[in-house]
Amino acid sequence: MNPVGPHGTWGQPLHGFLLVNKPVGPTSHDVVACVRRRCPGTRVGHLGTLDPAAHGLLPLALGLATRLAEYAHWHSKQYRAEWWLGRETDSGDLQGLVVAQAAAGSFVTAQAVRAALVEFQGEIEQVPPAASAVRVAGRHSYEWVRAGLPRPLPPRSVRIWRLEWLGWRPQPGAAWQRPPDAPAAPIHAGERLLVELDCSAGTYVRALAKDVGRRLGLGATVADLCRTRVGPFVLEQAHPLEELMYATPQQLAAWLQPLDDILPLHWRRVVLHPAALARVVQGGVFSSDEIVREPEGERVQQGEGNAGAGRGETPSLPAVQLEAEDGWLAVLDPEGRLRALARQVKPGVWHPEKVLTWEDEASPNGCGHRGS
């Protein structure tokens, strides 16, 4: 039987995270729409907006992965940005109007640049750019801007774990040079800084550039922005948008990352006794004694804490090893598919807070799979 449907789509459900290398120009919604056209009926979303003027990693969630998109906010993100010193725009990038410009010949020292970058590490308050996807009064902020009715946005807390100065250059197109070692070395208005940062979800690099530029007394705006990592996903794994536009659904399926990749790494992955798994997918609780193994580990030896050991049953992990951090476990089936996220409700007892149903509910016209 040919799995390709009447519109050139695959008649199998697709579930997982598809990593896209977005170019400058398309919106994040444009990329989502492109994948939806390749696989009609499949739910598709993204793990955080990437501005049209930015490029780099845009992870998409397909099928059941859309139910796990909220966990992307638990992870840090990494960006590499080129900042133009001596100029500030109303949007924080080159798409906006210039609102301030440093006088010719203005400069700061390399030591001042390093001190400013240190100051903006840790937990900070920032006001998102007006031209952003932040919702205010029921609409995206950029929609108010386009209507000529910009709304003030309140500051919010974000965290910058690392803000590193990688290089500088005197003008666009020039070769990047290492930051000068001499503390008093001048960095002039009009020159470019190359920085890399690890930050929390919700951080706006455009707002950070503006704030650092103001601290330096020169102003700054983003000339180029590339997202290189979202949690466990890195840009090197991503596929160019051009490839996705012509990919078959079979190719898309081969490129998907597993559902549990989005979960915190310290969450334990476990496989349950078949009877317990059948109960869990119906929303029932399970005990530590019903955990038979971890997917990448060996089955535990008999006598390590399972009452059923020695009676032909699969031994469980010892209870002492099941003190999962944050009180969460990821439940997989024997095939390695994520079936539930369970929270510990009391010692040795776990309740599924989110259950993923894998039964095929594909639409007639393609590879749609609703899941639950």
Q: Is the dihedral of CA 227, 229, 231, 232 positive or negative?
A: positive
Active-site residue among 30, 51, 93, 333?
Answer: 51
Every domain of the chain and the residues it spans: 16-73+234-261, 77-230, 263-355
Residue type, 261: D
pLDDT of residue 41: 78
pLDDT of residue 284: 96
Q: Which of 2-16, 66-80, 227-241 has the highest mean pLDDT?
A: 227-241
Check if 51 is active-site: yes
| pLDDT level of residue 368 (50, 70, 90 thresholds) | very low
Of 303 and 128, more confident: 128
Of 130 and 186, more confident: 186
CA distance linking residue 102 with residue 112, whole number of Å: 16
Of 224 and 266, more confident: 224
70: pLDDT strictly greater than 80: yes
Q: Are 188 and 107 in contact (CB under 8 A)?
A: yes
Domain 16-73+234-261 grouped into CATH 3.30.2350.10: yes
Spell out the CATH class of 77-230.
alpha beta
Of 143 and 358, more confident: 358
Helix 110-119 to helix 205-216 angle (10° resolution) is: 130
For 144-178, how does the pLDDT look when each residue is reduced to its tens digit (9 = 90+)?
A: 777 777 777 788 999 999 999 999 999 888 999 99
pLDDT of residue 359: 53
DSSP β-bridge partners for residue 140: 135
CA distance linking residue 240 with residue 238, whole number of Å: 7
Structure tokens at 30: 């444009």
CA distance linking residue 182 with residue 169, whole number of Å: 16
- Which of the listed CATH numbers 2.30.130.10, 3.30.2130.30, 1.10.260.40, 3.40.50.2000 matches domain 263-355? 2.30.130.10
- Mean predicted confidence (pLDDT) in 196-215: 96
Q: Which of 297-301, 328-332, 365-369 has the highest mean pLDDT?
A: 328-332
pLDDT of residue 313: 35
Of 123 and 299, more confident: 123
pLDDT of residue 233: 96
> Do 77-230 and 263-355 show the same overall fold?
no
Q: What is the pTM of this model?
A: 0.83
Phi-psi region of 319 (alpha: psi -120 to 50; beta: other; left: phi over 0): alpha
Rg of the Cα atoms in the chain: 25
Picking from 25-29, 175-179, 307-311, 347-351, which range would have the lowest pLDDT averaged per residue?
A: 307-311
